[in-house]
Every structure is written in structure tokens, then in C-alpha cells.
Amino acid sequence: MRQTRSRRRPVAIDLFAGVGGLSLGFEQAGFDVLAAVEYDPVHAAAHRYNFPLTEVLCRDVKNIGRTEIISAAHRGWRLHHRSGPAWDGAVDVIIGGPSCQGFSTMGHRNQHDERNDLLLEFVRIVTEVRPRAFCLENVPGLLQDKYSIVRETALTRLRSAGYRISGFDKVVNAAQYGVPQNRKRVVIMGALDTEVAPLTPSPTLVSVAESFAQLPDASDNARLLDVDKAPISDFPQSNWMSESSVYADFIGGCRKDPADLSRPRIWDSSMLTNSRLSAHTAESIRRFSRTAQGTVEPVSRFYRLSLTGQSRTLRAGTGRERGAFTSPRPLHPIRDRVITVREAARLHSFPDWFGFHITNWHGHRQIGNSVPPLLARAAGQRIAQALETSPVRGRAEIRLGDESLLQVSMGEAAPLFKALPEEIPAQRARSSARVPIAKE
């Protein structure tokens, strides 16, 4: 006799959470994210803004264990369930994308990079907490032979703990899961005593033009050189690309996505947010104007987006502990400027209600470090199926956090979470060595 599928909302814990790309994707797949762990206070503040019902631990994963994580999840349960029974402590899934720079095929690769150890820290937490399932995202470089020892150590420990694993032997492209961006990643999933079906790509691709549809063009408002948001009513009614698309309708909140089971957010749809313009010199603008769509401007090495294609991978650059280098940002397909944070968010499948830090440096980095929510949703749907649960749609609206959370400096954000000084990313002086340019 077949077991009746549960229709409750399963619960998740997000490690290395950043601003919450995985958190959002799994919430859209029907999970309640009770707790998130992120060591950078600025990113933790943005996560709290977007997920006010999730308890955020601003800690280094290396220094915490099951007790701290489960205690945070209990608090997150109470935020999600103001009344009703207490949580029984059973975790359905742990998700996370450990820092991938050590495995990255971009720039310098170092098999002895200490960040490679974060993969085993993820495994340690999974084996201590013993969720019913896990989802691990990382870069394709993880599958290279030079990282076989750390990779096989991780897989062996997970298998020994009873997890049946899928996805460790292939690379997926976010573009094949509804994301208008070519972003190749490894998505490893596992569950106790059951198989998680592999992700199934879709032949339908979303273009840059579809992702930008009905999005006001920040170039039409010079005030956005000084601020990051403006009323949509300030922009011309006829945008440079006014035609609608299903993707833009879902992302912009004009139409309800039937596959999105997340809790609806209360947000001000009359404002264009995270759209601060970058100031360019007249010479740069001249060079940009001579760069065709789908080609690279030879001096800056900025790639100009093609309206009919997908974006190249959006890069994060490095954190302050690695010299705070900025990664090249794509050029707008029509305007002679780099894209805004909101345009990058559209290319990453973040909805327009989702907020990022008001500065371009933090905002672009928060997106580049994130798992595209639609890719995360696809993984969450597979895990929900493996756990034989049919999650219900979140109905109660959630009011986003205070906007000050998107404006804080590192020094202002740390006290909000009682972050330990020794765990906060320390500023490191930039090396005089040239940083390699990222290429596809």
C-alpha cells in the first residue's frame, strides 16, 4: 500500500546562505527555511531583510555545530508559527553552497586553498544534524581530478551516514532551468534511504530581452547616479522594451507563478529599486558605443549582452578578506553602460521584491555569489518528491524587513547579529599582482 504523501511545508536550514538564493528557491519549492548561517554581516543583514521569518546566525560554519543550528531553527519555527505545536526538531533538508573560489576554474586555482575545507564542513553539519536530505551547490571545478581526494572524502562520509547521492557526476547549466544566464554548476543531492531524481533540463531558454521586459530603464533618470531607487512613475510610459514576457510577468509580480509556493511578500511595486547607475567617463562611453551585442569591449573586457541570447555567468569578485576586487560587469545590450544591480537580479531570476545592498559593489557581489533561485527551486522540487511531501502554498503575506538592513556597513551590521570579531571577514590589502580576467 502506497504511503500517503504529506501536505505540510517541510523545513530547511541554509548554510553559507549569502543573501538567500538557495533559501528563496527552496521556499518557492514549498520549504520553510527556519535558519540560515552566513558569516558576512552585510550579507546576513540582506538575508534578514528578505526572509524576516528566518533566524539568521552570523557565524563561521567552522565554529558551530548541531546545538547552535538546531537552537536557531527552533527560533525560526516560532517565527513561522506564532501559535500551534512546538517543533519536533526534525530537519527535512540542509542546503548550502560552500565558498567555491578554491575549486573555481576562473583565475588562480589552488587545491590547498583553505576554502576547499568548507565542503567538508558542510558534510560535518549534515552528518551531525542528520536531515532527511541535503542539497549542495558548487562550481564545475569540484569535479576535476585534482580535487578528487576532498570530493571523494565528502561523498564517502555522506554515504557512510546513509545518504544515497545523485548529481555528483555531471554539470548543469542554470539556463536550462529558466534562468536567462549561462551558469554551469554542480548540484549534489542526497536523501536517507531513497533516491533523489536528477534534475531534468528544459529545452526552452529565456533571453535577455525577456528578462528585461517592462523593466524601467535606469538611464532615463539621472538621479540614479546618486541614489539606488526611484518611483516608476518618473520613467517614460514607453520603455525601450515594453513588450511583456511570461518570465518578466512572474519576476515583476504582474502574474502569479503557479509553480511558486513561497509566502507572498508585501512590497512597494511602485518603486524601481537597486538601480544606481555607474558613472562612466566619456571615453568609456565612446568605447561602449562601438561594442556590438555579444562581443567584448577590448579595453575594459566588458561583455555586451545580446538581447536574443543569455547572459554570461555573473561574477561576484572577491570579498574584503581577499582584497575586494570587482569582477567585470556586463554591458547593457542597448545603453552604453554596465547593468544595474536590479538588471543583474533579473538575469539571476530574483523577483523584483527581493532587496540587495544599496551599493553597487555589495549588490553585484551578493548576486554573483548566489545560487539562481529558479535553479534552486528545481532542486527543491526534486527533494520534495523524494521525501514524498506535497507542500502547500504559503498564504500568509510577509512584510519585508526594515530597509536600513540594506544600507548598513560592516561595522554597523556586525552588532545586529552579535557577530564575533574573530569571525568577521577581515580587510586585506590588495596585492599589486594583476588579477586574471574571468572568461567563459
The type of residue at 82 is: R
Gyration radius (Cα) of the chain, Å: 21
Q: For residues 418 and 58, what is the distance between their CA atoms, to the nearest angstrom? A: 8
Q: Which three cell numbers stand for residue 330?
A: 556586463
Q: Which residues pair with 338 in a beta bridge?
A: 331
Give, in order, the Cα–Cα distances in Å from 296 to each of 77, 157, 399: 48, 44, 41
Q: For residues 161 and 323, what is the distance between their CA atoms, to the nearest angstrom? A: 38
Residue 214 Rama label (left phi>0; alpha psi -120 to 50; beta): left
The type of residue at 78 is: R
Beta strand residue intervals within 47-177, DSSP E: 55-57, 93-96, 133-138, 163-166, 172-173
Catalytic: which of 58, 100, 135, 254?
A: 100
Q: For residues 367 and 98, what is the distance between their CA atoms, to the nearest angstrom? A: 15
The C-alpha cell 553559507 sits at 16
275 phi/psi in degrees, rounded to 5: -125, 30
Give, in order, the Cα–Cα distances in Å from 245 to each of 21, 162, 239, 364: 22, 44, 14, 24
Chain centre distance of CA 434:
28
Q: For residues 250 and 264, what is the distance between their CA atoms, to the nearest angstrom? A: 12
Query: Quick check: 35 and 58 in contact, CB under 8 A?
Result: no
Query: Quick check: 79 and 56 in contact, CB under 8 A?
Result: no
Strands 32-37 and 265-266: unpaired
The widest CA-to-CA distance across the chain, in whole angstroms, is 72
Q: For residues 76 and 47, what is the distance between their CA atoms, to the nearest angstrom? A: 13
- For CA atoms 50, 74, 95, 408, the dihedral sign is positive
User: Is 254 considered catalytic here?
Assistant: no
Query: Quick check: 349 and 342 in contact, CB under 8 A?
Result: no
Query: Quick check: 61 and 118 in contact, CB under 8 A?
Result: yes
Residue 140 DSSP symbol = G
Query: Quick check: 417 and 41 in contact, CB under 8 A?
Result: yes
Positions marked catalytic: 100
